[in-house]
Structure 1
Amino acid sequence: MSELLHSFRYRNYLWLWLVVALTNTGKWVFTLAVTWQVYNLTHSSFWSGALMFASMFPNIIGAPVVGVLADKIERRRLIFIAVGIALTVLLLLAGFTAAHLMNSGGMIVMALLFGLATSTMGVSINAIVPTLVPKDVLYNAYSLQAVGQRGTEFVGPFLAAPLLAAFGPESVYLFGAATYVVAIVFALFLSVPNTVERKVSEGFFASLGNGFRYIHRNRYIFGIIVLVGLHCSLTMAFLGMLPKYVQQGLGAKSSFYGVLMSMVGLGSIFGTLFLAGVKSHALRMKLFWTSAVLSGLSLSFLGESSSNTVAVVAIILVGASQALFMTLTVAFVQEATAEHVRGRVTSVYLVLAAGLMSLANWGYGWLANVVAPKYIMLTAGLLFTVVVGIYWLATRNKPLGKPVSNEMLEL
């Protein structure tokens, strides 16, 4: 057990992990409440998908900006800015909802602002982790971070679902706001090494361009990021149509919607905790390909679920395989990235991951008004499984192995 929790021996990493756990609890509490609220206001999966798109869209525009800033200014400062924005959004949502003044358009605006906060947090935290632990502990650190991030997909909805059913979404927003207040307290104890890009006089666009060139020259990083984009757009973009799937596909109520959301997180805990104890690179590569295939097949299984019990089993598998895949890919990329360009590489990763997922969420939400959600899940899951097979065949003679030396990739 001590080896499994090895990264917690580093005090600043522990403070960061607590910030991650609390802010992600707030994030999933927000997601639970807004998707359910907008669906019940509009009775349309289009608006649920649009809301998910709005909450992730800032990753497309904002993440590159944050990535450049993360290489130029203190990264802890970005955490405080992000937490402040998210806290303000949750308090506004609670107030407007309680006053019966919230409509679908207002919720889209709130989701955009909240997405800006989560985008800033994502880039900053992923860029900070390698500065807090030794390189040989990096996979353990990212695995435990994923427990804090994805495990809250279980904790957040599990705690918030009874509030949603009993008191409505405004109580859920207040609960989410409380998690961000506590996160601010823990962030005050966090000390982050000052890592500033060497070319401090370099302009914004030149700096951003150098980040893209760095990724393109490192085929290892480039290949992983492309597959992550396909994974997120095909297998992880189902939340926008989940409320309709629960109500019409399974004939269930809001309480079971909360259960399904929390089961994604429970599966994530299983997947990432298992990875925390893995030290073999060869085993990590096997888990990489296995989790990629299971991400597709488990989503198809969810679409074909005929009862609430089967749906719970399927969505646990979805959570476990997706969390394992995403944790491995972010650790692969961070291990291969030089410190002076880490923020920009992280931002590109998030642009393709969350950015494409936001577009797919909106598209699937619209499509779910025409086609039953279960058929969309079935098709998207099988399509990604085929993509993984093609990708494996294309790289089996030049397999994804250890990254090239960063000395060969100096800007």
Structure 2
Amino acid sequence: MGFGDFVRRLAVDTSPLRVPAYRRLWMGQGVSFIGFQITSLAVSAQIYDVTKSSFWVGMLGPANLIPLVIFGLWGGAVADAVDRRRLLIVGSLIAWTATVGLLVQAALGMANIGLLLATVAVHATGFAITGPTRGAIIPRLVPVEFVPAANTLNFLVGNLGTVIGPLVAGVVLAQGGVAVAYLIDVLLFGAGFYAALRLPRLEPVGEVSRPGLRSVVDGLRYISGNPVVMMSFVVDIIAMAFALPRALFPEIVAERFGGSPLAFGWLAASVSIGSVVGGLLSGWVGRIRRQGLALTIVIAAWGVSVALAGLAGQLWLMVALLALGGAADLVSAVWRQTILQTHAPDDMRGRMQGVFMVVVAGGPRLGDLRAGATAVWFGATGAWVGGGIACAVAVLAVGLAVPAFRSYRAAVGNV
């Protein structure tokens, strides 16, 4: 095999971008997600500036988590019963309204912690609705053979936004303040909204269940009867709840780097820098068949990378180690999403994506809460390093203990 063939096998598969509706959704998501990340960093910085406490930054975790659990599960059930295009538009408008609220309070100088957390909770409600809806839409837009590549592209553009957003936010916070950061998010939102408006009607197919508690319970029962699917959620919760150190970034930046907004931006972007590089070199990911074992290994690698980053004293080394962990996290996310989309029928995909959203978006919020609380007892460095070590140990113990997951081989084709 020549060098050109090697590069083509390694490079990301862009085949799904041939589908116009998917391409618009992908591009709109990428642009609007940059604004979302700018706002996320600005809220953390604003709360720390007001309170000087990592605990209150960590309280962003439950402020996001509670709406994500409630409306993520409900939104996924609704996505199986209504036009998914319309639901995506409604959820987007809820999130945008909350961003406007953050802009108004910043412009008026209303630095009230309760108001900030409440507005963040409203934003999380909109995000909880749009996340599972968008995930359930993708298999309806692209051919079966493009689904793994479409998932990779989605995670790639999301992580690219997570790189660009914090780096832009670092400059904006240093030069213009939080109000300017929120204004940028309000404007960038338009790209994602336009993409949603241009989608075709996506009425439900197959058996339609009335959205409600029973529909949610049916989805959870489906998961409980599939140990591989269940474990794909469990290992991700371990990864995020134990090892994610982002609630500690403001304190670490203040202690080690003199409170520099640019250092804050680089730390916040570091995991996603690795995810972007990992995504660009992801051509091999779809060829791995022992995905259960592979998931266990890459999540353990994430934990070890985080722990080593917490011990580093130089900014460049911290960024490099967190980027290495981010590459492992990207690969993990692609495999977990593909497992869900290739196991579940279309009339169950919204609910599966709802649970996926709760885990993917809720796990980091648990991580924020864990990091902020343990920093009170052990300090920022102890909370950071201990969390990474605990993640690696726990995921190896759990992942290798379940035979069905440990021996699982991918079976693409029943999407």
How far is the alpha carbon of 1:370 from its aligned partner?
3.1
Q: 2:238 aligns with which of 217, 230, 243?
A: 230
Task: Provide closer, same or farther for how the CA distance between residues 35 and 283 of structure 1 changes in structure 2, counting only shifts above 3 A.
Answer: same
Q: How much has 1:3 moved relative to structure 2?
A: 7.0
The one-letter amino acid of 1:232's match is M
Question: What residue identity is the alignment partner of 2:236?
Answer: V
3-state SS of 1:223 partner: helix
Work out whether 1:139 is the aligned partner of 2:148. Answer: yes
What is the TM-score with the length of structure 1 in the denominator? 0.92
Question: Pick from 63, 73, 76: which aligns with 1:67?
Answer: 76
Query: Residue in 1 aligned with 2:56?
Result: 47
Partner of residue 362 from structure 2, selected from 323, 346, 355: 355
2:95 is matched with which residue? 86
Residues 358, 231 of structure 1: alpha-carbon distance in 2 compared, 3 angstrom cutoff: same
Cα distance between partner residues in 1 of 2:231 and 2:347: 21
Identity between Structure 1 and Structure 2 (%): 24
Distance in 1, Cα, partners of 2:365 & 2:12: 36
| 2: CA distance, partners of 1:211 / 1:204 | 11
> How far 1:162 sits from its partner (Å)?
1.0
Instruction: Give unpaired runs (5+ residues) of structure 2.
Output: 1-7
2:320 aligns with one of 295, 310, 313? 313
2:114 is matched with which residue? 105
* Structure 1 partner of 2:288: 281
After TM superposition, give the deviation of residue 203 of structure 1 in Å. 6.1
Q: Name 1:20's counterpart in structure 2.
A: 29
Q: Deviations over 1:39-72 (max 9, x none)?
A: 0000011110112331233111111110110000
The Cα offsets for residues 222-273 of structure 1, whole Å up to 9 and x where unpaired, read as 121222222221123x222211111124434112101221222211101222
Picking from 258, 261, 267, the partner of 2:265 is 258
**1:362-377 map, 5 Å:** 362-377=369-384
Larger deviation: 157-166 or 246-255?
A: 246-255
- 1: CA distance, partners of 2:201 / 2:311: 47
| Contact 1:44 1:369 (C-alpha < 8 Å) held by counterparts | no
What is the SS of the residue equivalent to 1:151?
Answer: helix
Q: Decide whether the 8 Å contact of 1:147 with 1:272 is kept in 2.
A: yes
Q: Deviations over 1:284-312 (max 9, x none)?
A: 56653442121101110111111112112
Q: Which amino acid aligns with 1:297?
A: V
Please say if 1:179 is aligned against 2:188: yes
Task: Pick one of 404, 407, 411 that aligns with 1:399.
Answer: 407
| Distance in 1 (alpha carbons) for counterparts of 2:342 and 2:372 | 36
In 2, the alpha carbon distance for the partners of 1:188 and 1:288 equals 36
**SS of residue paired to 1:251:** coil
Q: Is the 8 A contact 1:70 1:343 kept in 2?
A: yes
Q: Name the Cα RMSD after superposition.
A: 2.3
Indicate whether 1:209 and 2:227 are aligned: no
What's the counterpart of residue 323 of structure 1?
Answer: 330
Give the counterpart of 2:65 among 47, 56, 59. 56
Tell me what 1:267 maps to: 274
2-structure distance, mates of 1:208, 1:306: 47
1:109-188, aligned counterparts within 5 Å?
Answer: 109-188=118-197
Moved more, 57-66 or 241-250: 241-250
The CA deviation string for residues 67-106 of structure 1, in whole angstroms up to 9 with x for no partner, is: 1100001111122122212222222212221221131111
Correspondent of 1:96 among 102, 105, 112: 105
Q: What letter matches 1:371 in structure 2?
A: F
How far apart, in 1, do the equivalents of 2:284 and 2:180 lie? 38
Q: What is aligned with 1:301?
A: 308
Which residue identity is paired with 1:72?
A
Q: What's the offset of the Cα at 1:314?
A: 1.7
Distance 1:191 1:309, change over 3 A: same
Retained in 2: the 8 A contact 1:220–1:404? no
Distance 2:39 2:323 in 1: 21
> Structure 1 stretch 26-35 or stretch 221-230: which is displaced more?
221-230
Q: Does 1:386 align with 2:393?
A: yes
1:276: how far off? 4.5
Give, in angstroms, the shift of residue 357 of structure 1: 3.0
**Larger mean Cα displacement after TM superposition, 122-131 or 321-330:** 321-330
Gaps of 5+ in 1: none
In 1, Cα distance between equivalents of 2:388 and 2:365 = 17
* Secondary structure of residue in 2 paired with 1:282: coil
SS in 2 for 1:368: helix
The separation in 2 between residues aligned to 1:21 and 1:89, in whole angstroms, is 19
Shift of 1:319: 2.0
Q: Which moved more, 1:54-63 or 1:67-76?
A: 54-63
In 1, are the aligned partners of 2:274 and 2:323 still within 8 Å (CA)? yes
Q: Does the CA contact (< 8 Å) of 2:342 and 2:414 recur in 1?
A: no
Q: State how far apart, in whole Å, the 2-side matches of 1:217 and 1:169 are.
A: 46
Distance in structure 2 (CA, Å) of the matches to 1:278 and 1:108: 38
C-alpha deviation, 1:189, in angstroms = 1.8
User: Partner residue of 1:345?
Assistant: 352
1:405–1:140 distance in 2 versus 1, CA, 3 Å: closer
My pick for the range that moved more, 174-183 or 189-198, is: 189-198
- Distance in 2, Cα, partners of 1:203 & 1:137: 29
